[in-house]
């Protein structure tokens, strides 16, 4: 058996957010993953297939989950051309980030 190095991703999940937006477990995992992956460059560059593999779900589940998160106003989509190929990039909306930042620092941030 070969050793693998796993990248650790930690994310706080607030029950208030889950209730506020009526999020399913896969929606919570998806938006947390996209939020984490988009922090450095502003957009999540992972493909939907890569996101599906990471979360151990089907690509169709990721497609429908992303569409639901866009409908709820928690994700935005941008169609870009990268290396000659059209691809969709995703990022959490300010609505999501502001709420997460507020819950992380309730005494210093305001909504």
Q: Distance (Å, rounded) from C-alpha 23 to C-alpha 14?
A: 11
What is the per-residue pLDDT across 31-56, written as a single tens digit (0 to 9) for each?
Answer: 999 998 998 899 999 999 999 999 99
pTM for the whole structure: 0.80
Residue among 9, 1, 18, 5 nearest 103 (CA): 18
What is the per-residue pLDDT across 76-95, written as a single tens digit (0 to 9) for each?
Answer: 999 877 777 778 899 999 99
CA torsion through residues 96, 8, 41, 43, sign? negative
Angle at 16 between CA 13 and CA 18, to 5 degrees: 65
């Amino acid at each position: 058996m070969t050793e693998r190095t796993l990248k650790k991703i930690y994310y706080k999940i607030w029950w208030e957010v889950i209730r506020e937006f009526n999020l399913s477990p896969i929606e919570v995992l998806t938006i947390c993953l996209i939020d984490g992956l988009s922090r450095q460059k502003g957009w999540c560059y992972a493909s939907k297939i890569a996101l599906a593999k990471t979360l151990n779900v089907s690509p169709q589940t990721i497609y429908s989950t992303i569409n639901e998160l866009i409908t709820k106003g928690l994700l935005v989509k941008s169609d870009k051309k990268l290396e000659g190929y059209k691809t969709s990039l995703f990022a959490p909306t300010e609505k999501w980030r502001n709420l997460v930042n507020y819950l992380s620092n309730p005494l210093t941030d305001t909504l």
